[in-house]
Amino acid sequence: MNEFGKCFRIGIFGSSHGPCVGAKVEGCPAGSRISEAAIQIELDRRSPGKGPISTARKERDRLEILSGIRNGKATGGPIVGLVRNVDKDSSSYDAFLRVPRPGHADYTAMVKYGGHHDHRGGGQFSGRMTAGLVIGGAIARQVLQKKGVSFLAQTVQIGKVLLKKEVPFSIAERIVRKNPVGCADRDTAEMMKEEIVRAHEEKDSVGGVVRCTILGLPVGVGEPFFWSVESAVSAMMFSIPAVKGVEFGSGFRCASMKGSEHNDPFAARGGQVVTKTNYSGGVLGGLTNGMPVDFRVAFKPTSSIGKPQMSLDVTTKKPVQLEITGRHDPCIVPRAVPVVENSAAAVILDLMLQGGMT
């Protein structure tokens, strides 16, 4: 059930305070060159412990590949990769079985699993599970890199701070990896960081938006209906905890545009068919059209906040004031940037394999 994809399939396992989290990946073409060091670089981008803008939990997230890669190449068998959980402190979580955190999965999980779920650290609902997505995605990304497909996710909004300029892909790629919030403009990155620190000091949290661009895709990736690029990518993005919105190209703004404004005019550039604008986000009829695939993912503000808030004791049905003391990210967005980027690669490789395009 915890599996995504038809031909390139990622199953994630583990829990936040159990022994490990990781992924089982099936369908990686045998003989693909897979560098474990490259997967580690992506895991490091996601890992916690980046000062006041992320949780104080300290996890080195050292990758262990148990099977499926030999002598730097995919064997064709299942690839199993994991990271161990080391810095576990489950002391504050029992209370949430009685008094669920507003905005978190404590209540829904308790009802669905009758209290048998592993609730420590959020269990399977923890953002830590996304380490598995990064492992699987970073494998797909390496396969696609050989085919000239590249991925860039960047933070374009944190709270009320927006990135107002368009930074070219090659420059953005460098800057995004060099600042802790993953924004392509240094000054805006600084303001975003301040926004997170301010929220943290107020024992509160902020949300934001990650934009992802995919370059180098041929025309025709995707299927017309259920496995359209939009539906498959969105299904993956909405699987990432705390995601509340996904939009392609013009997204919800399309509703207020005229057809004459929104239609992307076709043109020829260097012998290639292109469109002059990209309101479609690089997808027409569910299929890539050769333009950059461009989508945005909205993350809600972290639900676990120290600020007092009202909840309910579900056993007595009496209102209770809750002050959450555990270690939490004051903003999920910076750590979600590599999650969006790598998990998008897993979806695209799956669609290309489905379409016999690799």
Ligand X SMILES: Cc1cc2nc3c(=O)[nH]c(=O)nc-3n(C[C@H](O)[C@H](O)[C@H](O)COP(=O)(O)O)c2cc1C
In whole angstroms, how far apart are CA 213 and each of 132, 154, 191, 296, 344? 22, 9, 23, 9, 10
CB 85 within 8 A of CB 60: no
Interface with ligand X includes 240 (CB under 6 A)?
yes
Interface with ligand X includes 17 (CB under 6 A)?
no
Give min distance, CB of 11 to ligand X, in A: 18
Give min distance, CB of 8 to ligand X, in A: 21
User: Which 280-309 positions form the footprint of ligand X (CB under 6 A)?
Assistant: 300, 302-304
Choose the stretch contacting ligand X; rule: CB under 6 A; options: 25-33, 72-80, 188-196, 332-340.
332-340
Among 105, 184, 344, 351, binds ligand X (CB under 6 A): 105
Give min distance, CB of 128 to ligand X, in A: 7
Among 182, 241, 301, 338, binds ligand X (CB under 6 A): 241
Residue nearest to ligand X as judged by C-beta position? 127
Give min distance, CB of 329 to ligand X, in A: 4
Interface with ligand X includes 104 (CB under 6 A)?
yes
Give min distance, CB of 121 to ligand X, in A: 9
d(CA 57, CA 326) in angstroms, rounded, equals: 10
What is the distance in angstroms between the CA of the first residue and the CA of the last residue of the chain? Answer: 26
Q: Which is nearer to ligand X, 149 or 337 (CB)?
A: 337
d(CA 138, CA 346) in angstroms, rounded, equals: 8
User: Which residues, in sequence order, are CB contacts of 278 under 8 Å at separation 6+?
Assistant: 249, 264, 291, 292, 294
Q: Which is nearer to ligand X, 29 or 102 (CB)?
A: 102
59, two tokens? 């996890």
Q: Which is nearer to ligand X, 108 or 316 (CB)?
A: 108
Three-state secondary-structure class, residue 152: strand
Q: Which is nearer to ligand X, 127 or 159 (CB)?
A: 127
User: Which 336-355 positions form the footprint of ligand X (CB under 6 A)?
Assistant: 336, 339
Alpha-helical (H) ranges within 51-204 are 95-98, 106-113, 130-145, 169-178, 186-201
203, two tokens? 């024992």
Which DSSP letter does residue 129 get? G
Among 69, 207, 335, 337, binds ligand X (CB under 6 A): 335
Give min distance, CB of 351 to ligand X, in A: 23
In whole angstroms, how far apart are CA 53 and each of 7, 183, 192, 272? 37, 14, 10, 44
d(CA 212, CA 340) in angstroms, rounded, equals: 7
Give min distance, CB of 211 to ligand X, in A: 16
Give min distance, CB of 261 to ligand X, in A: 34
**φ, ψ of residue 224 in degrees (nearest 5):** -65, -25
Interface with ligand X includes 126 (CB under 6 A)?
yes
One-letter amino acid at 327 equals: R
Size of the residue set binding ligand X (CB under 6 A)? 21
CB-neighbour burial class of residue 205 (10 A; exposed 0-12, middle 13-18, buried 19+): buried
Longest CA–CA separation in the chain, Å: 71
Return residues touching ligand X (CB under 6 A). Answer: 55, 104-105, 122, 125-127, 130, 240-242, 300, 302-304, 328-329, 332, 335-336, 339
